[in-house]
Amino acid sequence: MAENSTIEWTDHTFNPWTGCTKVSPACDHCYAESWAKRSGHVTWGPHGARRRTSPANWRQPIKWNAAAEAAGRRAKVFCASLADVFDNHGSIQPEWRADLWALIGSTPHLDWLLLTKRPQNISRYLPNDSRAPWYRPWNQLWPWPNVWLGTTVENQVEADQRIPHLLSVPAKVRFLSCEPMLGQLALTNMDVARHPAAKGLSPIGAYWVNALTGRNDDMGRPCPDVPRLHWIICGGESGPGARPMHPDWARSLRDQCAAADVPFFFKQWGEWLPDKLIENISRRGTMMLPDGRQMRSMMDPTKPNPEHEIQELLRTMGPWQHLSMVGKKRAGRLLDGVQHDGMPA
């Protein structure tokens, strides 16, 4: 089956329209914006109109669906890499969404991965919201079996804000893309009590929730299970200006998933690779603490570094981790020597 995406966790990428507005630190180095500037295709930001892609592009998923059916293997479609499918910008015409849902509904051999940084808008744009001006009851009520809903969480602040919204919407699969990972994430003991989506999550109101198992604990009293996450993707940032990912962040996410029996996909290190300072003394490097603080490598690559000084530095490094900028390809996607390709069944 021909694939049109180089992203490790999908077969295809489909953009119903292009253009977006930055909403959080994960957007700082948005490659779609860089692409838009280079191509002049669309103006980024709140004042730029979104632009629907070509009819030929919209016919592509029909072909992918036929190929998947012929191959007897479902294919994944990431929607959208150059926009946010739950963007509420006024230039997105209601019929674009109607056409998108119709396309998704007519391609049952494709799993559509709708990844957003605006999960608060998901329920508003679902196809079973009969208040929406474009609503048409095609074949069945939500959730559809070929739609996976996901949100990006790059740090704990965004996790606390976005995950409750995602949990509040029924879905065949709920997933997180923790890329670019910019901080430690704790998914197993989340305080959703004060979140506006909390009342939709539980009939009893406030509680702490393990977003990976759906188990929750209200002041020590057992409570009914709640919706949970089914898949976690983790990755460091790539491209110009990429920020490093501390290895303990990825390890912690891997271990939380293992404990909860949730599939874990380690997509990439990005541009930076953790290493031992002594082996990479001449490369561009940074020293990093698990809390995200950084300092540039203390070593000057233009001068010889006496062995005893390096050893002394390593001995006194404590929790500091050294990372070298080696490039995405060379950094690879092994975490402690293991490739993690976990996906929902």
Give the residue, chosen from 12, 16, 20, 244, that forms a contact with ligand SF4 under the rule CB under 6 A. Answer: 20
Let me know: does 290 contact 319? Beta carbons within 8 Å.
yes
Residue of 10, 16, 27, 232 that binds ligand SF4 (CB under 6 A)? 27
Strands of 285-288's sheet in order across: 272-275, 321-325, 285-288, 294-296
Confirm or reject binding of residue 22 to ligand SF4 (CB under 6 A).
yes
Q: Does 114 bind ligand SF4 (CB under 6 A)?
A: no
Phi/psi for 323 (5° steps) reads -130, 140
User: Using CB under 6 A, which residues numbered 29 to 48 contact ligand SF4?
Assistant: 30, 32-33
Residues comprising the chain, all counted:
345
Q: CB 279 → ligand SF4: shortest distance, Å? A: 34
Stretch that binds ligand SF4, among 20-28, 65-73, 160-168, 238-246 (CB under 6 A): 20-28
Quote the least distance from Cβ 32 to ligand SF4, whole Å.
Answer: 4
Cβ 342 to ligand SF4 shortest distance, Å? 24
CB of 42 to ligand SF4, least distance (A): 11
Which CB atom, from 118 or from 254, has the smaller least distance to ligand SF4?
118
CB–CB of 182/155 below 8 Å? yes
- Residues 6 or more apart in contact with residue 149 via CB below 8 angstroms: 114, 116, 119, 122, 166, 169, 171, 173, 174, 175
Q: Which of 50, 52, 76, 117 binds ligand SF4 (CB under 6 A)?
A: 117
Q: Which is nearer to ligand SF4, 24 or 60 (CB)?
A: 24
Radius of gyration of the chain (CA): 22
Which helix (DSSP H) or strand (DSSP E) does residue 287 occupy?
strand 285-288
From CA 54, how far away is CA 112, in angstroms rounded? 19
Alpha-carbon distance of 85 to 265, in angstroms, equals 23
Q: Report d(CA 300, CA 312) in Å as an integer.
A: 16
Q: Which stretch binds ligand SF4 (CB under 6 A): 25-33, 175-183, 257-265, 332-340?
A: 25-33
Q: Which of residues 72-101 bind ligand SF4 (CB under 6 A)?
A: 83-84
Helix (H, G, I), strand (E, B) or coil at 39: helix
Residues binding ligand SF4: what is the number (CB under 6 A)?
Answer: 10
Cβ closer to ligand SF4: 86 or 265?
86
* Nearer to ligand SF4 (CB atom), residue 32 or residue 313: 32
**278 counts as binding ligand SF4 under rule CB under 6 A:** no
HEC string of 270-284 equals CCEEEECHHHHCCCC
- Sites of contact with ligand SF4 (CB under 6 A): 20, 22-23, 27, 30, 32-33, 83-84, 117
